[in-house]
Chains A and B, each alone.
Chain A
Amino acid sequence: MTDPIVSIRGVSKKFPGGVIAVDDVNIDIAPNEFFALLGPSGCGKTTLLRMISGLETPTDGQIIIGGQDMALTPPNKRPTNMVFQSYAVFPHMTVEENVAYGLRVTGVPEDETKRRTAEALEMVKLSHLAKRKPDQMSGGQRQRVALARALVKRPKVLLLDEPLSALDAKLRDDMRMELTRLQETVGITFIIVTHDQDEALSMASRIAVIDKGAVQQIATPSELYEQPATRFVADFIGKVNLIDAKVLSKKAKAITCEAKGLGKLTFDTEKACGDTVAVAVRPEKLKISKAEPKAAGLIKVQGNVRDVAYYGDTSHIVVSIKGGPDLQVNVQNDSRTGGSGVERGQAIWVSWMPDDSLVLTE
């Protein structure tokens, strides 16, 4: 990795009253990355973002931006700009004045201010609304103003706090693509905070999953989905079947365990483990069949269909198995007739390739 643009080293934040919002976080973010901080609400991701911007001060640790320690740098002197969750577009200024604000207060010459403001408005496609006041605009438009206002400053890092949460579904999809396009055009590092896994998976080049103030895993979207490090990550990113298992024996490169309802299974892994582990497998990796599947090496189990939910492109089937948890199976409805072809109460076989599941040790 090239020299990181943002380096978060051992950063903690304790609020008065003993609440630990951020707990010893270490993250390096490379230039031009689209980085996402993903976690449930209250996990400390926004506090982390605010510490990068300088609006909060870490109780411990260092934040280094562009090679410089930011400990003593107030927010107005940092090479970062933020798009606030509430947008915080100044209501007493026009769109144009809002965008020009950050340039005017730092003494950028007026002709340059005018030119850059016009460019920024062009970039977010708001030139025709330059003279409007924010109260005459929609939420999506206000957000574009907030974006233009931050980008016009040409920061090294753009911080976005839940940028899509206040938009309706259609607008959210548009804005998601818009943000990706903008990030590629301007070539600035984006750090986005979100609680929405779809948002993080579809936009970010790398994601840090945060729970209770601590980083659970930092990885690319596909790694997070296919190789989750912990039960929390597996469960938080997408849907997953987690089957508890008791460890029978542990060798250097393999674990043999007794999984509930599935029997004895062996997984290749070098991870250390305790007495219990969990077998994780995504619903779309599971296959169903009426007859017992014959292929060698498959993990298979017979059960009863408990529920079928039809979603058009897919059907979600819940299969209850003896001695284990209900398994969720997603099947593609790839023929125009018959849907998934299964009915409630039907006896059915569920199977998957061992490589499509993995064992989680923590």
Chain B
Amino acid sequence: MAAISREEVAHLARLSRLAVTEEELDRFAGQLDVILQSVARIGDVAADDIPPTSHSVPLTNVYRDDVVQPCLTQDAALAGAPDTAEGRFRVPRILDEEA
């Protein structure tokens, strides 16, 4: 039994706005399945006395004080953007691509 179906991979690709070909879907589904099966094996060895773990460090309550730190300049902030206008990031139209 596969851990992830081809349809699930297609769904995730669409959510991530990745254009994936039919062949790629087959290939990625297979690869992701291997990864997920491997991770699932860890679940097999975890005994009841081992709680589910989401963080690798045994820490809680790591905070910083509410003190302003230097920011980037507008130029520096926009330096890596493919396109800008009026001091802002310029992005393609948002609604159409969902159709």
Asked if chains A and B come from one complex, the reply is: no
Mark A residues whose CB is within 8 Å of B.
none
Chain B interfacial positions (CB closer than 8 Å to A):
none
